Structure 1
Amino acid sequence: MFKPFLSSAQQWLHSVLPCQFCGLERGRHASLCQDCWNHLPWFKQSVQRQEIEVQVACHYAYPIDRVIQQFKYEQQLHFQILLTGLLKQLDYRQIQAIVPMPISTQRLAERGYNQSVILAQRLSQQLNIPVWQPIQRQHQHSQKGLSRLERLDSIEQQFKIAPTNTLRYRRVLMLDDVVTTGSSLKALQQALNELGCRKIEATCIAAAQV
C-alpha cells in the first residue's frame, strides 16, 4: 500500500511544481508543461534490432539524451517521473511481468542503482504486474576493438540464469533505457528463452542511430 501511495504523492507534487525544463508553467505531463512535452523528440514506434521488435517512445536526441545520461550516471533520480511517463505512452498487451535489463555487480557498485530496475518498478505499478529479475549479468568488459560477431558473443556470455530463481512467467516485457544495436536485448532474450518464456517483448525510452 505504501509504495503506490508514495508514487501517487510524487506525481501530484510534480503536477503542481513548475516544469522541470522551462520552469515557467506547471508540470502537467510527467513533470513537464504542455509545450515542453509537445516538443520532445517523440517517436512512438517500433524499431527492428537483432530480429527483435522494440517499442520506443523517443528518438535518442536532445533533451531526452541528456536526461537519460543524467538519470543513469549523475544520480538525477527525479527524472524517473518523466522517463516513466514516456514509457507509459506505449502499448503493452498480455504481459505477465517486466524484466529490467540487468547490470553487473561492478556497474551496480559504481552507480549505486540499476536505472532499468527503477523504471521497471514504476511501470509495474501502472500496469499492475510484477518486476521479474531471473537473469544475472557477469562482469561487463569493454567492447572496443571487437568485431560485431565478437561483440555479440561477448555479450551473450555475460547473461546467466540466477541460481535462486524459482518463478516462471511465459509472457514478459524486457525494459532498457536506450537501444542501439540491440545486442544486450538479444542476449537477454536468449536467456529468457532458456527459462521457458514464449512471448518476449521489448521496450526502451529511446532509440539511437546505428
Structure 2
Amino acid sequence: MFNLIHQLLNKSIHSLSSCILCGIDRQQHHSLCQDCWQQLPWLKSNVQRQEIDIQVACHYSYPMDRIIQKYKYEQQLQFQRLLAETLIELHLPKVQAIVPMPISAPRLAERGYNQSLVIAKILAKHLNVPVWQPISRSDQHSQKGLTRLERIENIEQQFEICTRSKLRYRRVLMLDDVVTTGSSLYALKQKLEVLGCQKIYAACLACAKA
C-alpha cells in the first residue's frame, strides 16, 4: 500500500511540474509540454556523411542545440531522458548491440562522463540490447583548418581496438550526439569492420551543417 501511495504521489508531482523549456505549461513529454515537444526542430530522417547513412532525430538548431550544449558541457544530466526519447522516435534498425562514440581520457576527465554512453544505456534498455565498447580513443585534437582528407586521417589515428574479448556482434548501431562532417563515425565504422561487424548503422541526436 505504501509503495502504491508513493508511486501515485510521484506521478502527481511530476504531472504538476512545469515544462523545462517554456516554464508555463505542464510536463507531458519527457520534461516538456506538448507544444514544446512538437516544436523541437525535428528532422527524423537520414543524412549521408562519408558514405554513411545516419538516422538523425533533430536539426542542430534552437532549442535542441542549447539542450545538447547544456547536457554535454554543463553537466545538466536532467536532459538525458529527453534526448534519448528523441532517438526512440526514430525507426531504428534491429541490432545486436549499441556502440556509443568513444571519447578520450582527458575529455572524459574534463566532463565526468561520456555523453553518448549515458544516452546509449537508456536506448539499449529500450531496445533490450547491450552497450558494446570495443574501441577506445586517444587524445582528441582540434580539426580546425584541416582539409577533409586531413580531418579523416587525423581522426582515424585516434581510434584503437581495445577489446580482448572474443565477443563479437554482426549488427551494431553507432551512436553520437551531433554529426557534422561524419569523420568520427567513419573512423569508428572502420574499426568495427576490422572486428567483423557486417551491418553497421548510425544514429545521432542532431545534424549540424558540415
TM-score scaled to structure 1, two decimals?
Answer: 0.91
Question: Quick check: 1:11–1:30 contact (8 Å CA) kept in 2?
Answer: no
Match of 1:197 in 2: 197
Match of 1:50 in 2: 50
Match of 2:102 in 1: 102
Instruction: Kindly report the root-mean-square deviation, in angstroms, between the aligned alpha carbons of the 2 structures.
Output: 1.6
Please state whether the residue corresponding to 1:174 is helix, strand or coil: strand
Matches of 1:151 and 1:73, distance apart in 2: 23
Matches of 1:150 and 1:76, distance apart in 2: 34
Per-residue deviation, 1:28: 1.1
CA deviation vs aligned residue, 1:17-37 (integer Å, no higher than 9, x gap):
221111222211111110111
CA deviation vs aligned residue, 1:47-89 (integer Å, no higher than 9, x gap):
0000000000100000000110110000000000110111110
CA deviation vs aligned residue, 1:105-134 (integer Å, no higher than 9, x gap):
010011110000000001111111110000
Question: Number of matched residues?
Answer: 201
Per-residue deviation, 1:14: 5.0
Matches of 1:30 and 1:62, distance apart in 2: 18
Question: Quick check: 1:176–1:203 contact (8 Å CA) kept in 2?
Answer: yes
Per-residue deviation, 1:92: 1.7
Letter aligned with residue 171 of structure 2: R
Alignment of 1:23-172 (within 5 A): 23-172=23-172
Matches of 1:34 and 1:106, distance apart in 2: 39
Worse overlay, 101-110 or 23-32? 23-32
CA deviation vs aligned residue, 1:121-171 (integer Å, no higher than 9, x gap):
011111111100000001111222322211110100111101434321000
The structure with the larger Rg is 2
Matches of 2:96 and 2:16, distance apart in 1: 33
Per-residue deviation, 1:11: 9.2
Matches of 2:183 and 2:208, distance apart in 1: 13
Q: Once superposed, which parts of structure 1, at least 4 consecutive aligned residues long, lie more than 6 Å away?
A: 10-13
Matches of 2:35 and 2:12, distance apart in 1: 19
Question: Quick check: 1:83–1:119 contact (8 Å CA) kept in 2?
Answer: yes
Please state whether the residue corresponding to 2:206 is helix, strand or coil: strand
Segments of 5+ residues of structure 2 without an aligned counterpart are 1-9
TM-score scaled to structure 2, two decimals?
Answer: 0.91
Letter aligned with residue 137 of structure 1: R
Question: Quick check: 1:40–1:58 contact (8 Å CA) kept in 2?
Answer: yes
Letter aligned with residue 90 of structure 2: L
Please state whether the residue corresponding to 1:106 is helix, strand or coil: helix
Worse overlay, 184-193 or 87-96? 87-96
Please state whether the residue corresponding to 1:35 is helix, strand or coil: helix
Match of 1:5 in 2: none
Please state whether the residue corresponding to 1:85 is helix, strand or coil: helix
Match of 1:177 in 2: 177
Segments of 5+ residues of structure 1 without an aligned counterpart are 1-9
Matches of 2:166 and 2:69, distance apart in 1: 34
CA distance 1:163–1:38, change in 2 (3 Å): closer
